[in-house]
Amino acid sequence: MDGPDLDRLFGRVEAAIGTRPRLAVALSGASTVAVMRLELPDGGSIVAKAGNGHLALERWMLDELSRDSSLPLPEVLHGADDLLLLSWIDSAGGAPDPAAEIHAAELLAALHTVPRAHFGYARDTVIGQLPQPNPPGDRWIPFFRDHRLLHMAVKGHEEGTVTTALRRRLETLAARIERYIDEPAHPALLHGDLWTGNVLHRGGRIVGLIDPAIYYGHPEIELAFTTLFGTFGEPFFRRYRELAPLADDFFEIRRDIYNIYPLLVHVRYWDTAYARPIEATLTRLGI
């Protein structure tokens, strides 16, 4: 973004917060919207997301998490359909160190052990830019089967990123899903998208969790996702187990079943090569 577009952005930011930025620096991780650090005249910075990308919904999700959790989150300075302004969080980059993993376990255990009224949510959300249906329900297994596993498989098949063969295998898994996963003690509020890039840390502490995809679900799906790209490891899970329940056999197969969902997101969003680990899990199950 440069020239007149950047001038227009700076004008909108000034109208929103009363200060005109002096410089914009592009940030990594953007896909359908521009994400940048805006330097202000006083030496401070804010984050701007600009474009057509569910930004008002992102603001709403951050507001929900802020109200209903103690997670460290960016402050929302302005939120509209095409412009979201957030406080800047200084972080170290890369995967969290063991001390930060332990802090993350404490934060997530505190989040997951608060009982919620139902699965789903008050409204549908998104993961990345993909719609994530959240109809309220009393049972986790049908919610995961219908509104996570099958929803993402069917939408991917309709657009051509999920093959007919893979869709049929996933439908077979869905028909047998009660063999493999259990109902949790209660619904839990989930951040929903805890890959490494959304976990900001500094000095052995978690200083920010960004880009939520919230809903009420089983903590195991959140915990599984943290292992998919190496966000958290042994220090995290050792501390989490001290504070919240985690079944001994979580790592045997349920983790891989739950990770089919974010892998399908990646199949649709980035590359059909992400289907390979899905197929490997299905093969392990004899499907």
Q: Of 124, 108, 106, 114, nearest to 186 (Cα)?
A: 114
What's the confidence (pLDDT) of residue 93?
A: 85
What's the confidence (pLDDT) of residue 4?
A: 56
Mean pLDDT (the chain) is 95
What's the confidence (pLDDT) of residue 29?
A: 63
Same domain, 43 and 105: no
Same domain, 179 and 278: yes
Same domain, 138 and 234: yes
Q: Of 147, 134, 149, nearest to 216 (Cα)?
A: 134
Same domain, 62 and 126: no
What's the confidence (pLDDT) of residue 31?
A: 62
**Which residue bears the tokens 């997670």?**
71
pLDDT (tens digit per residue) in 254-272: 999 999 999 999 999 999 9
pLDDT over 70 (residue 30): no
pLDDT (tens digit per residue) in 94-114: 899 999 999 999 999 999 999
Q: Which of 57, 87, 117 is the last residue of a domain?
A: 87
Q: Is residue 193 part of a domain?
A: yes
Q: What is the CATH number of the domain that holds 191?
A: 3.90.1200.10
Between 25-34, 68-77, 168-177, the lowest mean confidence (pLDDT) is in 25-34
Q: Of 156, 229, 222, nearest to 195 (Cα)?
A: 229
Q: Is residue 182 part of a domain?
A: yes
pLDDT over 60 (residue 152): yes
Residues spanned by the domain of 56: 3-87
What's the confidence (pLDDT) of residue 33?
A: 86
Same domain, 229 and 106: yes
Same domain, 48 and 105: no
Arithmetic mean of pLDDT, 176-181? 97
pLDDT over 80 (residue 234): yes
Same domain, 64 and 120: no
Helical packing angle, 260-269 and 151-159, nearest 10°? 20
Same domain, 22 and 157: no
The count of structural domains within the chain is 2
Beta-carbon neighbour count of residue 116 at 10 Å? Answer: 17
Arithmetic mean of pLDDT, 242-255? 95
Q: Of 170, 179, 153, 109, nearest to 265 (Cα)?
A: 153
Q: Is residue 24 part of a domain?
A: yes
**Biggest alpha carbon–alpha carbon distance for the chain:** 61
Span between the terminal Cα atoms of the chain, in Å: 47
pLDDT (tens digit per residue) in 13-22: 999 999 999 9
Q: Which residues are catalytic?
A: 193
Same domain, 123 and 248: yes
Same domain, 115 and 42: no
CA distance 39 to 35: 13
Q: What is the CATH number of the domain that holds 42?
A: 3.30.200.20
What's the confidence (pLDDT) of residue 28?
A: 77
Same domain, 168 and 46: no
Same domain, 126 and 203: yes
